[in-house]
Amino acid sequence: MPHPLGDRPSKIIAVHLNFPSRAKERGRIPGHPSYFLKPPSSLAGTGDPLPRPDGCELMTFEGEIALVIGRRAHRVSPAEGWDHVGWVTAANDAGVHDLKYADRGSNLRSKGADGFTPIGPRLLDARDLDPAALRIRTWVNGEVVQDDTSDTLLFPFAELVADLSRLITLEAGDIILTGTPTGASVARPGDTVEVEVTSGSASTGRLSNTVVEAGPLADWGAMPHADEAARADAWGATYVAEPTLNPVLAEALRGLSTATLSSQMRKRGLQHMSIDGVHPAGSDSVKDTVKMVGTAHTLRYLPLREDLFKRYGNGMNAQKRAIEELRPGQVLVMDARRDNSAGTLGDILALRAMKRGSAGVVTDGGLRDSAVVGGLGLPVFHAGEHPAVLGRRHVPWDTGLPIACGGALVQPGDILVGDADGVVVIPPDIAVDLATDAAEQETQERFITERVAAGESVDGLYPLGPRWRDAYEAWRRDNDH
């Protein structure tokens, strides 16, 4: 279907970073907007295919609010900028990151191919809109993956028009792609990407495009190339990397009890490393066998404020983002301020965490759907069952930052170990030595247990004293420890 403009614009200008959620994901907040150009030949409409060249694996989508200039803008002020916008519509700033290396900075080949800028399907009259009250949403195969609003922008629309017009004359029909929120990622052939911009009851309708195989590239010029850096850049918050916890260390920790690990940390002066007040979900038999080892990915809830919940609690909020950000081997750790009078996790998100490869979930708040969650096979530690949704007490606020959970300070990347006794937090830099000393402690305790069972007094035996040292060493040799 043709794009809704009819004639091609003289230029398409795209903003690199504008939504705070995307800037956080990228790890930088720009002081000024920066831009790149897309060829007018890249325009497409709803229903047109998104063509992924053969050899490319990183076809990306970016749902965006597109501004269409209504009248010529040359050296206009920020106060005048919005007056030069004629229409607003939905756009998908698509591209292939496999070719990004070839035009570093310009994005010409990676973002400029024919069909890589679908817009539409309808234009909204800018005169009827509040530029700070637009909502952008993106779906992939019917699932919402992006949801944000224009009141959060780093650089408001009028400022973009004014900034560009200082040096570049914007002609009627020119398009400004105003940046994408977090959640932009990779789509594969067969995936359908939909983007919609709304303002109250006004809607652009859903811009819908399906990724297709486009056929081979001619074998001259730059060819597709993808490495781990390109994959991380393309996949964004949903990038799945290898587990950060050494498998040998993970296996060693899996064989140790939290009681022993806690004792060893106390010997090192670390007195507050247990997450207090949490217990594993599931039946008594499940609780007796549950074991969790992984690295922390954090989520913070703040107390409910009704006027802020609509903005922070709906759509692809921090709770859902935290789930989608999980990598294999990570434990999602939630700071709910020890308030278990509302759920902070339910069965669907627990299932999604398990499908993401999560090693477990820890929350010092409440758990909904506890019977179902307890039967999933995912270790989940919580502070109590509760039927209410999180909006009764909590606003999901932020991810990937230091938090307090059950009285313990947890940083992203800390190691979490959980069993029937509870959960402990292990600083990564002491984990190897801690595991070694804890294993020795548990070996000694097995010897001590045997001697106590045989009728020996604990005097001089527990803890192991000099009188029993030779007997212990002989026992170790005999038992191949």
Sign of the CA dihedral running 359, 364, 365, 368: positive
If one compares 121 and 398, the residue with the highest pLDDT of the two is 121
Q: Which amino acid is present at 426?
A: I
pTM: 0.57
Which domain CATH number covers 373?
3.50.30.40
Q: Which residue has the tokens 């940083």?
A: 411
266 and 393 part of one domain: yes
User: Is residue 4 domain-resident?
Assistant: no
208 and 331 part of one domain: no
Q: DSSP states of 257-319 as a string?
A: -HHHHHHHHHHTT----EETT-EE-S-HHHHHH--EEEEEEEEEEEE--HHHHHHHHSSS-HH
Q: Ranked by mean pLDDT, which of 54-58, 223-227, 410-414 comes out on top?
A: 410-414
If one compares 333 and 244, the residue with the highest pLDDT of the two is 333
Which domain CATH number covers 99?
3.90.850.10
220 and 257 part of one domain: no
Tell which of 237, 261, 290 closes a domain. Answer: 237
The yes-or-no verdict on residue 240 having pLDDT over 60 is: no
**Percentage of the chain lying above the pLDDT 90 cut:** 74
CB within 8 Å of 298: residues ≥ 6 apart:
322, 332, 333, 334, 335, 399, 400, 401, 402, 403, 410, 411, 412
Mean pLDDT estimate for the chain: 92
171 and 93 part of one domain: yes
The yes-or-no verdict on residue 176 having pLDDT over 80 is: yes
User: Is residue 6 domain-resident?
Assistant: no
146 and 111 part of one domain: yes
Residue 127: exposure state from Cβ atoms within 10 A (0-12, 13-18, ≥19)? exposed
Per DSSP (E only), the strands in 342-401 are 360-363, 380-382, 394-399
217 and 327 part of one domain: no
Mean pLDDT for 244-273 is 93
Q: What is the pLDDT of residues 352-387, one digit of tens each?
A: 999 999 999 999 999 999 999 999 999 999 999 999
The yes-or-no verdict on residue 303 having pLDDT over 80 is: yes
If one compares 43 and 232, the residue with the highest pLDDT of the two is 43
> Which residues span the domain enclosing 454?
433-478
Quick one: pLDDT band at residue 242, thresholds 50, 70, 90? very low
If one compares 265 and 283, the residue with the highest pLDDT of the two is 265
382 and 449 part of one domain: no
User: Is residue 120 domain-resident?
Assistant: yes
CB within 8 Å of 478: residues ≥ 6 apart:
none
User: Is residue 75 domain-resident?
Assistant: yes
The yes-or-no verdict on residue 154 having pLDDT over 60 is: yes
Give the number of domains in the chain.
Answer: 3
List own/partner pairs for 372-375 with CB under 8 A and 24 or more apart: 372/347, 373/281, 373/282, 373/345, 373/346, 373/347, 374/280, 374/281, 374/282, 374/283, 374/286, 375/282, 375/286
User: Is residue 2 domain-resident?
Assistant: no
Report pLDDT for 237. Answer: 66
User: Is residue 370 domain-resident?
Assistant: yes
Tell which of 409, 426, 443 closes a domain. Answer: 426
CB within 8 Å of 195: residues ≥ 6 apart:
63, 64, 90, 91, 92, 136, 137, 138, 139, 206, 207
- Considering only 11-15, 272-276, 327-331, which range has the smallest mean pLDDT? 327-331
49 and 197 part of one domain: yes
| Tokens, residue 142 | 């019917």
Q: Cα torsion for 336, 338, 343, 344, to the nearest 10°?
A: 30
Q: DSSP states of 221-261 as a string?
A: S------HHHHHHHHGGG-----SS-HHHHHHHHTS-HHHH
Quick one: pLDDT band at residue 239, thresholds 50, 70, 90? low
**Percentage of the chain lying above the pLDDT 70 cut:** 97
Mean pLDDT for 115-134 is 96
Mean pLDDT for 132-146 is 95
252 and 222 part of one domain: no
Residue 15: exposure state from Cβ atoms within 10 A (0-12, 13-18, ≥19)? buried
110 and 259 part of one domain: no
Tell which of 393, 411, 426 closes a domain. Answer: 426
24 and 159 part of one domain: yes
User: Is residue 395 domain-resident?
Assistant: yes
Q: What is the pLDDT of residues 315-360, one digit of tens each?
A: 778 898 889 888 889 999 999 999 999 999 999 999 999 999 999 9
Q: What is the pLDDT of residues 429-478, one digit of tens each?
A: 999 999 999 999 999 999 999 999 999 999 999 988 999 999 999 998 88
CA separation for the pair 100, 60 (Å, rounded): 11
Residue 71: exposure state from Cβ atoms within 10 A (0-12, 13-18, ≥19)? exposed
The yes-or-no verdict on residue 27 having pLDDT over 80 is: no
232 and 329 part of one domain: no
If one compares 230 and 76, the residue with the highest pLDDT of the two is 76
CA-wise closest residue to 185 among 155, 160, 211:
211
The yes-or-no verdict on residue 148 having pLDDT over 70 is: yes
CA separation for the pair 164, 147 (Å, rounded): 27
CA-wise closest residue to 179 among 146, 217, 212:
146
